[in-house]
A and B are shown apart, each in its own frame.
Chain A
Amino acid sequence: MTERVPVLRIGDILLVSIQVDLEDQTVLDLQEDLAEQIVARAARGVVIDITAVEIVDSFVGRMLATIASISRLLDAETVVVGMRPAVAITLVELGLSLGGVRTALDLEKGLALLRRSATGAELP
């Protein structure tokens, strides 16, 4: 049994803070959990905090894009926050630009971004 990443709820936003090393199974479990939770709790936004993630591979990169696509289908917007410079460089070198994923520097800015888009304000 691998560790599961907890999915927390703040209002109508789901917060996923990844604190463990991402194994392929963990990632698949997370994808499943998140899809269920979005539907169960009628979430409008998903924040994935990867501040603690130091190592990524192409699988994790694709996972982020997949989660974003799934969430969008379920009418929730995904924001990836707290990406480290080294991780960003790695993803670029891997050729993953995470097209559909929105990003923010930290959790606070990510939440602000979701709140702005929920109120329908003009996005920066």
Chain B
Amino acid sequence: MELLSTDREKITSEWIDGVTSSLQGRISKAEVDRELRELYEALVQGLRAGGEETRGDGFSEVRALLTELSRNRARQGFTPSETAISVLALKQALEPVLRNDSAEETTAYLRLGRALDDLALYTVEVYTRTREEIISSQAAQLMELSTPVVKLWEGVIAVPLVGTLDSARTQVVMEKLLQALVDTGSEQAIIDITGVPAVDTQVAQHLLKTVVAARLMGAECTVSGIRPQIAQTIVALGIEFGDIVTKATLADALQHALRKSGVDLVTHQDARR
């Protein structure tokens, strides 16, 4: 593949142009330039050392560079094709060099093409993996963000639930709530479901379990924030909340919890304007 090294300047600039235009200016040309020149060097060296064995040792540097490139592209929100084009554009850049129609060069080009296809597939692979990592880390963050346990009063804690409840999340909520009961020594807990868009039998089941577990530990649990539509759904589904105290709003639940823990709320007439 002497061609690659002799016509280096021409091919790389062609390549860089191709890639830059496909990315529509979302990455600066200088950056693409730097990335691709490095990649080109590594590729030439790889081809010299390892032939077309793209998964072999000779290409370890190329793979490392491609990994970095694909990761960056995935983080910056490019599509998989825009990532793979970074490699595939080299094929196009090579075409003008093949003008003299010799059979030897054509086969060499085809072999190189195969190697490049392989590398392009590799970028897509890394791209997908990076995306999956991002998604799972976001899911974990969301889980932490959405289940705070807040202290409302001495001996009263609350969990405002926001978003759809599934088994995994309810498990986290349950554990956090029960641990908070122990840590704060609270005897009253309020689960506020104002932010839960839908309640089905499974969610109700989870709520009931949490309430019973809290009761086992010696605390009382109130469910609040049941919206009218949700109340209708619950009744229509035939879910029995049994002797669990339910309130329409968090304020009502707090008042109930305070009364249970022996705090009296007094309204001063003269304090009102």
Within 8 A of B (CB), among A14-60: none
Tell me if A89 and B261 are in contact (CB < 8 A).
no
> Whole-angstrom distance between the alpha carbons of A56 and B249 in the complex?
36
- A106-B185, A124-B262 as given contacts; A85 in contact with B218, CB under 8 Å: no
Whether B11 sits at the interface, judged by CB under 8 Å, is no
Whether A103 sits at the interface, judged by CB under 8 Å, is yes
Which of B18-26, B78-86, B122-130, B209-217 forms contacts with chain A? B209-217
Contact of B187 among A79, A85, A105 (CB under 8 A): A105
Tell me if B179 and A85 are in contact (CB < 8 A).
yes
Tell me if A85 and B185 are in contact (CB < 8 A).
no
- Residues in B whose Cβ lies below 8 Å from that of A83: 216-218
- Residues in A whose Cβ lies below 8 Å from that of B212: 92, 97
Tell me if B181 and A105 are in contact (CB < 8 A).
yes
Looking at chain A's contact residues, is the secondary structure mostly helix, strand, loop, or mixed? mixed
Looking at chain B's contact residues, is the secondary structure mostly helix, strand, loop, or mixed? helix
Residue of A nearest to B259 (CB): A124
Tell me if A88 and B185 are in contact (CB < 8 A).
no
Residue of A nearest to B174 (CB): A89
Whether B182 sits at the interface, judged by CB under 8 Å, is yes
> Whole-angstrom distance between the alpha carbons of A110 and B219 in the complex?
11
Tell me if A88 and B178 are in contact (CB < 8 A).
yes
- Residues in B whose Cβ lies below 8 Å from that of A106: 185
Tell me if A85 and B175 are in contact (CB < 8 A).
yes
Tell me if B182 and A84 are in contact (CB < 8 A).
yes
Measured CB to CB, the closest approach of chain B to A27, in angstroms, equals: 18
Measured CB to CB, the closest approach of chain B to A24, in angstroms, equals: 21
Whether A70 sits at the interface, judged by CB under 8 Å, is no
- Residues in A whose Cβ lies below 8 Å from that of B218: 79-81, 83, 102-105, 109-110
- Residues in B whose Cβ lies below 8 Å from that of A104: 218
Whether B48 sits at the interface, judged by CB under 8 Å, is no
- Residues in A whose Cβ lies below 8 Å from that of B175: 85, 89
Within 8 A of B (CB), among A63-108: 79-81, 83-85, 87-89, 91-93, 97-98, 102-106
- A105-B181, A105-B182, A124-B262 as given contacts; A88 in contact with B187, CB under 8 Å: no
Q: List 26 A-B contacts (CB under 8 A).
A: A79-B218, A81-B218, A83-B216, A83-B217, A83-B218, A85-B174, A85-B178, A85-B182, A85-B213, A88-B214, A88-B216, A89-B174, A89-B175, A89-B178, A92-B212, A93-B209, A97-B216, A103-B217, A103-B218, A105-B187, A105-B217, A109-B187, A109-B218, A110-B218, A124-B260, A124-B261
Question: What residues of chain B have their CB less than 8 Å away from a CB belonging to chain A?
Answer: 174-175, 178-179, 181-182, 185-187, 209, 212-219, 260-262
